[in-house]
Structure 1
Amino acid sequence: MKWLALTFALAAPTHAGLRFGCSTLSIQRLDPVVEPGNAPSAHLHQIVGGNAFKANMTGDVGEQGTCTTCTFSEDFSNYWTAVLYYKHPTNGSYKRVPIYPNAQLSGTGIQGGMTIYYTQVDFNTNGKDKITSFKPGFRMTVGSPATNTLDGGKAHKGLRYTCLQTILTRGAETPDFPTKACPAGIMAIHHFPACWDGKNLDSPDHQSHMYDTTKGGFQPAAPCPASHPVRMPQVAYETMWNTTAFNSLPWPKDGTQPFVWSFEDSKGYGTHGDYLFGWKGDSLQKAMDSTCMFQGCENGKPLKSQNVAAMNKCTIKNTIEEDTEGWLTALPGRAM
């Protein structure tokens, strides 16, 4: 009976869920949400999405970009996180960890970047709630670089790590960095809140206009509260950090691990992400109202998409010129 129920569940009509790749747009110290106008920002970010990205972003971003590093050519949103570095335990130097693409994405050859999700209740249903698209000018963050305790890390149920045994490993999520060498790298996961107050496109802390009912993973979230009644898409990022080249290099002798975020977090508790909406016109709402899933949403069904070559070609000139590659004596912006 259980198998029969599962069969019917998988065969039932589904409602839109987007999963797509975005190649790297830029790696530099800019953060137009938390530090608008500051050039440089406090720490290094890896950024994907539309080429309108700059230190200060206002207005309808969907009408400002001319290209995007994402699969859907109508998506000029920007998505960014901190950058992962290996810290040499002997001499204290740093080297940036490269990113590799999700093997489950359509197309091959995506350069770095992230996997982006817009889900509704879960992967199989839209449930009973209307899913309302974000509005022009909308932005939010999840997590905080100031989080520095295990309890603080656990409290953010949508922020986790997976020690990849293979490139297809999922599950076994932890609130802190894996303490052992991972055969296929480390996946950093960021689930954003999906309940909106229906009024504010932002808030002073970039979080209070949203309410998080995430239970972790891609489980159905709890209902939205009366204070934040509008159910919006569940945005999530997955970043595949290819730590394998560092598994044979020295690791700390005290049993800890050698990786740090670009704001000098060696535990992983302070992982965080930023989101700035930039879908063109009503394209995201159109997708949320459709019945497509993942790659089935591409090629005009209902969203316009582009090939990997076009994604990789979209770039911006760095505003901040500083060394982020090679062996560094200090993390960018954090001189010794």
Structure 2
Amino acid sequence: MHFSTLTAALASAAAFTLTEAASKKSSRTFATVQFGGGKELTRCRLDPIVNPGGVSNHQHSVFGGNAFSADMPGDAATKATCTTANVKNDHSNYWVPSLYFKSPDDGTLYPVELFYPKVYYFFEPTNDEIKAFPKGFRMLAGDTSLRAPPSPAKDNLDPSKGPITPVQWTCPRSDSNSKSPLYPANSDGKHGVGIQDPSNGGQGWGFPDQECDGYASPLRADIHFPSCVNPNVDPANYKENSCYPSDNGQGGQDCPKGWIHVPHVFMEVYWNTLVFQDKWEKGKGNTPWVLSNGDTTGYSLHADFLNGWDTETLQYAIDNCDPGNDGLLKCPGLPGGATSEDEMKACKVTCPLGESDAIGTPMPGNKLLGNNPFSGYQAAPYAAPGGSDSDSSVAPQPVAPVKAAEADRPSTTMYALPASSKPEAQGANPQANPGGHTAYTSVYNIHTVIKTITVPAGGVTPAPVPAPPVAKGKKKEDCTTTTRRRHHRGRRHSHRALDY
């Protein structure tokens, strides 16, 4: 070979190696998105992913862009004119089943206020190039049909290591409350209360029977979404369009060959359970919480994501940003910039169904919206309003909204407290465990404004419309989309030790 030709070939190979290396990530980077505007964009029995054009059988707490509606084909989410996200170019929608409190005394059912949500975008170590979500992409995590704990009860997001466990409940606790186990030591998760995560003393599967009273950190739902996308499947086909990456043997996780590696989305949703702290007895192997689908166990925790990102903005964040818990807005040069507090407060969607589950008052007719029956190990018939199975003489009393100090309320703009004010100095007792995580959540000076969403009186509930059939895409290699029990986790990120 001629010397110049050989030189050119070597230079080309070197350039290719450098390009390939540049697309790989040796360590995790991440950023967070926070939400304001009264915390919920709306509360509504709509689900444009599972029930497009129809009505869901259970209530959802929704946040994100105001394009949210019953039917959102294609990239409809990007058409939003405002968002409750503090990042202006994130018009995505995120939603979870709403939470309720069922009084152990008389069966009265109350909505639980959403305290605040927070969404993490993890850019994980991988040999793949991480790309922004395709337009119109949507996905689910968790399984609404589950009423039993995972088997084995193992914290796992890697399908190569067994069944994935994508959702858990986390219970940050004060120093005085953290001495007792979060779940009964002998609980198998099938008889009245959930089951402990053996690698983390502050979390597990199913509702715990202890008080979650960490500083600004009541009961929290944790949901991890898949981060591998099949380019040969319709982005709207949430059942087959995604899966979780697997261990690549090099300290990272890769997607199946030919799939697109997207950000790992993780949602934390805090519920204001402390308003009911004097209304039930802790540590007795029973819990008072009910999800809007009627689940009394908490195993059916799930969440939905519908992409509404400006593609260039998200790709810029993937390629250039690692602000961690300081938030994505701390990324220099982020396109679009911030959503102001006033803009977030003004951004809202009125649910068209004419239903109500106002925070602070018992549920109308003492029933869940959609008349979902209670299910799971604490299933029981609906009690008459104000009554129990044996005594209906107790009248239901409105529950006053929590009167937390302004410093204990979430905000779209969070400011770190001085080091001396962090939980370590307040005696928050981080719960160390074999997995190396801690179960408390570090804190911020936080506040918010509660906004009541009004719905039209006498609204008509449209009949549910079945989802249109979607052509199945070609299965790729060893991705476990066919065994999606909605349990996932190969490696829970160590967010327990992060400063929020």
The TM tier, using the shorter chain, reads 0.7 to 0.9
CA separation of 1:202 and 1:62: change in aligned 2, threshold 3 A: closer
Match of 1:225 among 243, 256, 262: 256
In 2, Cα distance between equivalents of 1:166 and 1:313: 35
Match of 2:50 among 31, 34, 49: 34
CA contact (8 A) 1:46 1:80 kept: yes
SS at match of 1:248: coil
Matching of residues 47-62 of structure 1 within 5 Å: 47-62=62-77
Shift of 1:330: 0.5
Shift of 1:254: 6.2
CA separation of 1:245 and 1:291: change in aligned 2, threshold 3 A: closer
In 1, Cα distance between equivalents of 2:26 and 2:322: 10
Match of 2:58 among 43, 64, 84: 43
Shift of 1:273: 0.6
Structure 2: 5+ residue runs without aligned partners?
1-24, 154-162, 179-199, 373-381, 383-500
CA contact (8 A) 1:252 1:258 kept: no
Partner letter of residue 327 of structure 1? P
SS at match of 1:172: strand
Shift of 1:323: 1.9
The aligned residue for residue 104 of structure 1 is none
CA contact (8 A) 1:159 1:175 kept: yes
Taking every aligned residue pair, what percent have the same amino acid on both sides? 29
SS at match of 2:320: coil
Shift of 1:120: 1.0
Matching of residues 103-182 of structure 1 within 5 Å: 114-121=117-124, 126-151=125-150, 154=153, 155-166=163-174, 172-182=202-212
Partner letter of residue 81 of structure 2? T
Larger radius of gyration: 2
In 1, Cα distance between equivalents of 2:236 and 2:338: 32
TM-score, structure 2 normalization:
0.56
Partner letter of residue 212 of structure 1? Y
CA contact (8 A) 1:139 1:277 kept: yes
The aligned residue for residue 269 of structure 2 is 239
The aligned residue for residue 327 of structure 1 is 362
CA separation of 1:73 and 1:171: change in aligned 2, threshold 3 A: farther
The aligned residue for residue 95 of structure 2 is 80
In 2, Cα distance between equivalents of 1:166 and 1:193: 32
Query: Does 2:110 correspond to 1:95?
Result: yes
Larger RCO, structure (CA 8 Å, separation 6 or more): 1
In 2, Cα distance between equivalents of 1:207 and 1:301: 36
CA separation of 1:142 and 1:208: change in aligned 2, threshold 3 A: same
In 2, Cα distance between equivalents of 1:135 and 1:153: 34
Query: Does 2:199 correspond to 1:186?
Result: no
CA separation of 1:166 and 1:153: change in aligned 2, threshold 3 A: farther
Query: Does 2:293 correspond to 1:263?
Result: yes
CA separation of 1:281 and 1:83: change in aligned 2, threshold 3 A: same
Shift of 1:59: 2.5
SS at match of 1:100: strand
What per-residue deviation string (whole Å, max 9, x for no partner) do you get for residues 84-126 of structure 1? 110112322211111223xxxxxxxxxxxx10111111xxxx5
CA separation of 1:72 and 1:138: change in aligned 2, threshold 3 A: same
CA separation of 1:245 and 1:63: change in aligned 2, threshold 3 A: closer
Match of 1:25 among 31, 41, 47: 41
The two structures, once aligned, show a CA RMSD in angstroms of: 2.8
CA separation of 1:117 and 1:61: change in aligned 2, threshold 3 A: farther
SS at match of 2:304: strand
Structure 1: 5+ residue runs without aligned partners?
1-11, 102-113
CA separation of 1:58 and 1:171: change in aligned 2, threshold 3 A: farther
CA separation of 1:62 and 1:151: change in aligned 2, threshold 3 A: closer
In 2, Cα distance between equivalents of 1:321 and 1:21: 29
Shift of 1:252: 8.8
Count matched residues: 301
Shift of 1:81: 0.4
In 1, Cα distance between equivalents of 2:288 and 2:152: 19
CA separation of 1:129 and 1:208: change in aligned 2, threshold 3 A: same
Shift of 1:189: 0.4
In 1, Cα distance between equivalents of 2:307 and 2:115: 24
CA contact (8 A) 2:173 2:211 kept: no
CA separation of 1:214 and 1:25: change in aligned 2, threshold 3 A: farther
SS at match of 1:267: coil
In 2, Cα distance between equivalents of 1:171 and 1:312: 37
Matching of residues 59-70 of structure 1 within 5 Å: 59-70=74-85
